Structure 1
Amino acid sequence: MPRLIFSLATPDDDDALRRLLRENVMEGGISVSFRREPSYFLTSSVQGEQAEIYKGCNVETGEIAVLGSRFRRAAYFNGRLETLGYLADLRLNRRYRSGRCLFRAYCELGNVIAADPLPLHTSMILHDNAAALSTIAANRRGMPHYIPQGLVHTPFIRLARPRRPIAPEGVELRFGRAGEEGELTDFLNREAARRQFAPHYEPADWYNGRLRGLSVGDVCIARRDGRIVGALAGWDQHGFRQIHVERYNGLWRLGKPLYNAAARLLRLPLLPDEGGTIRYGYLALTAVEKDDADVYRALLRAQYIRCRKLGWHYMVGSMHENDPLLPVMNEYPHLAAGGRLFVVAFDTPPEPDGRVPYVEAATL
């Protein structure tokens, strides 16, 4: 492996970073790439208040060989507000892709991050990322220690058939209105403190890019006696983040024309052509007082109805395996997806106190 030198990426690297994403194709029945058009850096603002995007360049050619990021986030740990780090977006140029290259590159990147410590770092590795699970999460000598925190489910909920609203007794449901940002943010933070690693927001985040693409009108709010008792957002990030269909393989290639013919008759979402994008959005800002399943069920149904009308194919949820609301989300037909959550230790991390972790798929 050639020698790499790490430094912070700048907007001048934007074209090269987006090309690296386009070339990182996740193979499968439907081969896809996860893109950030028209700018790599637009997405960074939703991942954390401060983005540290590191590039590892071949010292001989200047070519970007590896990419990795740390995002500083205001988040709750053991009920206290802290500045935590989230490690994400590790990508290897295909010309440098091997287990040995991944190991050496992550060791060097880890040294850069460890030199500027934070109280705690977390990271999530997708189930099908065998290379990462067998290298960077294998706790090899010289690597940061990955401490498992359980499974996170990120189902793609199909927005297929129409469904009727759900109206719990004594609960008023409606979408947010201008002027409610402060009250809503206070509620989100109060509930976030009950979860581990849950993000903290400020009212200004509705306008400064932290919640880019999301407005208070995208949030369904549940009230009981005028007081907020639940919230759930439908976050469309298609303007700066896309799942791009590279190709259909095997049975998917054979079955796509038949599926789309049936979908037209049944008025279901069509599978996009190769080169197209999957229309999806995220279920986000999940907060329900006392984990009331009936309130969450009604919020989820309201977002289902709204997002289906908007033309989405899927809603992408996110819940830890121990979250008491997970069974409600799993009531809907979905494509299973998810990953493993880790605390990443560069030294001796503080111990979590047993609260259920919260992961926002929209900010991964």
Structure 2
Amino acid sequence: MRGPSEADRGFAVELAGPSDGKALLALYEDGAFPGGISVLFTRRPDAWFSLAREGEVEVVVVRDLGTGRIAAMGACILRPAWINGQVGRTGYLTGLKSLGEYRGRVPLGPRAYRLLYEATRERVDVYYTTILEENLAARRMLEKPRRNMPAYRELGGYTVHCLATGGFGGFPGLCGLRGFRPWDDKKGMVLTGGSWEELWSLYGPRAPEWNFSQTGRPWGVEESDIRLLRDGSGQPVAGCVLWNQAAVKQHIPMEYRGVYRLLRHLPLELAGYPRLPAPGVPAREAGFALLCSREGDPESLALLVEKTAREAAGHDYLLLGLFQDHPLAPHLEKFRGIRYRSRLYTVHWDGEGILPDGRPVGLDVGLL
């Protein structure tokens, strides 16, 4: 690797460790996503611990040698997932951040990327990442072939749906419930809890049919988080878990602009839209994970999502992430809600890495 030039002298690229958790958190807290609702995505109380809960983690940092401060970072979370019908080793690239005062002053991007790759390459079959669709500057920079940088190959669109909760909801029909209890409708389907064995009997056999689907129980999930849709005979036909990661990962609305400044004070849930938390207050949220059905049909999945959202009145909203080829995606576009659209990429150094085949993508939002 080349030595430092005049431009990057004064900075060092190195791997971080658990003792850097608070310094890494400062980078997460340094800026919010722009837009009508400015949202801070953070990993309180310790960013290293938060990242490590999601898998093995390697974090590369650019350190200011004059002050010792971490000026920029990038992370790779290593975990197993189903890829092309087999359990593969994935590396999720995330947390590409810098402190505001250093933006445009840290010229070590290629070296940091290379160090992250060298630290993980023996443990990863395919790297992937997501970039917000509206972040055109980052997309143009990373999609364009650049010397000494990995290649970004776009797979398609990934949408995170923020769904209303409680007894109104933005779904077809206005009946529903508050509180968690079995619930029946004209189709005879009942929403209940269930066991891990019951859920895995639905999810396990179908997981290899998807790319980036999970291979086991997500961290922190309890049996009380399981939701099953049962038919008239009591057999589960669809299931999921509500994955609450608030202990280590939060979305905090920092500012409402434009029309959202007025809408925040209205009872939006009456019209089927998510409640908007007060500025600076972490959203009470949970994400759908391990979403599955016995027959693989979108109708039972849509009914499961609707019923689960109705009983989750204690949350401001529920998050559901779907890739563009998910059979449920067209149904979710009919639901009222707030949507964040991203692009999903595989990332390749030196032409290496598995290319996912034509199977649909089953990536859970809690893994982003």
1:354 aligns with 2:358: yes
> Which residue is equivalent to 2:307?
302
CA distance in 2, matches of 1:128, 1:195: 27
Cα distance, 1:32–1:289 mapped onto 2, change above 3 Å: same
1:28 Cα deviation after fit: 2.1
Q: Pick from 107, 111, 136: which aligns with 2:114?
A: 111
The question of whether the paired residues in 2 share the 8 Å contact of 1:9 and 1:53 is answered with yes
Mark the runs of 5 or more structure 1 residues left unpaired by the alignment.
Answer: none
User: Which residue is 1:175 aligned to?
Assistant: 193
Separation (CA, whole Å) in 1 of partners of 2:229 and 2:359: 24
Q: Deviations over 1:176-234 (max 9, x none)?
A: 2xxx3244335423222111121211xxx4xxxx422x312212123456654421222
SS of 2:219's equivalent?
coil
What does 1:1-364 align with in structure 2 at a 5 Å threshold? 2-3=8-9, 4-48=11-55, 50-98=56-104, 101=106, 104-115=107-118, 116-117=120-121, 118-159=124-165, 161=168, 163-164=175-176, 167=185, 169=187, 172-176=190-194, 180-185=195-200, 187-201=202-216, 205=217, 210-212=218-220, 214-223=221-230, 228-253=236-261, 255-256=262-263, 259-262=264-267, 271-308=276-313, 310=314, 312-346=315-349, 347-364=351-368
3-state SS of 1:304 partner: helix
Amino acid of the residue matched to residue 111 of structure 1? R
Q: Matched residue of 2:286: which SS?
A: strand
In the superposition, relative to structure 1, how do residues 183 and 39 fare at CA in structure 2: closer, same or farther (>3 Å)?
Answer: same
Taking structure 2 as the reference length, the TM-score comes to 0.84
* Aligned residues with identical type, % of pairs: 24
Query: For the Cα contact (< 8 Å) 2:38–2:254, is it kept in 1?
Result: yes
Task: Please give the alpha-carbon distance, in whole angstroms, between the structure 2 residues aligned to 1:78 and 1:270.
Answer: 39
Q: Could you say if the C-alpha distance between residues 290 and 107 of structure 1 is closer, same or farther in structure 2, counting changes exceeding 3 Å?
A: farther
Q: What amino acid sits opposite 1:359 in the alignment?
A: L
Cα distance, 1:227–1:11 mapped onto 2, change above 3 Å: same
Q: CA deviation at 1:344?
A: 0.5
2:209 aligned counterpart, secondary structure:
coil
CA separation of 1:248/1:223 partners in 2, compared to 1, >3 Å: closer, same or farther? closer
When the two chains are superposed, the root-mean-square deviation of aligned CA atoms in Å is 2.7
Give 3-state SS (helix, strand or coil) of 2:74's partner.
strand
Aligned to 2:180: none
Which of the two has greater helix per residue?
1
Deviations along 1:334-358, one digit per CA (max 9) or x if unpaired, are 1121211111111233332200112
Whether the 8 Å contact between 1:73 and 1:83 is mirrored in structure 2 is yes
1:150, distance to aligned residue in structure 2 (A)? 0.7
Q: Cα gap change, 1:182/1:248 in structure 2, threshold over 3 Å: closer, same or farther? A: same
- Give the residue type in structure 2 aligned to 1:301: E
Distance change (3 Å), C-alpha of 1:166 and 1:9:
farther
Contact between 1:233 and 1:303, CA under 8 Å: does it hold in 2? no
